């Protein structure tokens, strides 16, 4: 049967895929209820939708980590599994902070997930969407956070880490919503994902409200530069991946990156809806589906993500 959609898992926003050296693709994302973290794994991206979904953590009944649970990411660091996620407070469900879980077993769908606590940033405020990467033996965290002195909205920050749940350096502002497309509905840059290639560190991010205006932007730095210097980072002008009426994909964003199992092709994983009009608050519309498609590279060494939903680019 000819493939007519690039959906890999339905109703999973903020999709995160990690291809491990055991040959499995590990998948997590925001569930529509925003009340738990689930994991699934499969040998191929196309079979993730039929893989068993294992609930590995539930929100607390009271207090911290008792509000909405958003955007989990799974990483394998120094022989252990880590999940970064944001959660609100039971008495303030939108009071998002960043938390970390750890699991030491080989198969993260099993074993015990231990709460390592909140990632302590330089100030207490709305914060979410943490991701981590390593350059030249140094580990960094990148995340979105609100700075009240700059008004409502989120910026992207980076800091060096001493371990997978602790920041070692002061946080540094590397992107803020200063382009028009990032300020539709809300002033937002969020959902960073890291791609390293061609002597560069690329960080994609998503901006604006979570309706059809949601889109992806990108900043980049030379891999030899100081990751903690704002001057190292430059921002692309305009979105690099956005709503496309012809393919009926609306609000594409909050992406992650993976490859084919042999590493020969690069894959963009993201969420998007298949319709434009939404009743009520977009955040509570459940039909942001996780999708995947191949992407290529431009002659100047930058990624070319193409058009969302273009079937020639869809993962077969």
Overall size of the chain counted in residues: 316
Give yes or no for a contact between 198 and 297, defined as CB atoms under 8 angstroms apart.
yes
Give yes or no for a contact between 260 and 282, defined as CB atoms under 8 angstroms apart.
no
DSSP-derived 3-state class of residue 51: coil
Q: Which helix (H) or strand (E) holds 279?
A: none
Would you state the structure tokens that stand for residue 48, as one six-digit string?
């993730």
Whether 299 is a known active-site residue: answer no
DSSP-derived 3-state class of residue 66: strand
Measured in whole angstroms, the distance separating CA 186 from the mean position of its chain's CA atoms is 18
- SS3 readout for 197-220: ECCEEEEEEEECCCCCCCEEEEEE
Residue 193 neighbours by CB distance under 10 Å: 24
Check 14, 73, 146, 182 and give the catalytic one: 14
Check 73, 190, 211, 285 and give the catalytic one: 190
Whether 190 is a known active-site residue: answer yes
Q: Residues with catalytic annotation?
A: 14, 190
């Amino acid at each position: 049967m000819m493939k007519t959609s690039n959906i890999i898992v339905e109703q999973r926003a903020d999709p995160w895929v990690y291809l491990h050296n055991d040959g499995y693709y590990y998948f997590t994302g925001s569930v529509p209820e925003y009340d738990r973290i689930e994991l699934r794994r499969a040998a191929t991206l196309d079979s993730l939708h039929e893989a068993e979904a294992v609930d590995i953590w539930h929100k607390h009944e009271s207090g911290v980590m008792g509000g909405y649970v958003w955007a989990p990411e799974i990483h394998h660091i120094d022989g252990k599994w880590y999940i970064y996620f944001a959660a609100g407070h039971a008495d303030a469900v939108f009071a998002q902070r960043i938390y970390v879980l750890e699991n030491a077993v080989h198969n993260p769908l099993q074993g015990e997930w231990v709460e390592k606590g909140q990632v302590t940033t330089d100030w207490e405020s709305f914060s979410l969407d943490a991701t981590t990467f390593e350059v030249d033996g140094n580990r960094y965290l990148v995340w979105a956070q609100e700075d009240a002195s700059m008004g409502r909205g989120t910026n992207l920050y980076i800091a060096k880490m001493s371990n997978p749940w602790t920041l070692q350096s002061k946080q540094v502002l590397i992107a803020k919503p200063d382009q028009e497309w990032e300020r539709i509905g809300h002033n937002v840059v969020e959902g960073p994902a890291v791609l390293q290639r061609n002597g560069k560190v690329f960080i994609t991010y998503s901006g604006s409200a979570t309706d059809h205006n949601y889109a992806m932007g990108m900043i980049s730095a030379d891999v030899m530069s100081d990751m903690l210097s704002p001057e190292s980072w430059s921002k692309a002008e305009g979105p690099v991946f956005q709503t496309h009426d012809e393919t009926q994909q609306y609000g594409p964003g909050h992406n992650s990156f993976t490859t084919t199992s042999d590493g020969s092709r690069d894959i963009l994983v993201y969420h998007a809806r298949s319709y434009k009009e939404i009743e009520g608050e977009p955040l509570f519309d459940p039909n942001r589906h996780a999708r995947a498609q191949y992407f290529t590279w431009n002659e100047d060494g930058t990624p070319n993500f193409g058009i969302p939903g273009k079937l020639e680019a869809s993962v077969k």
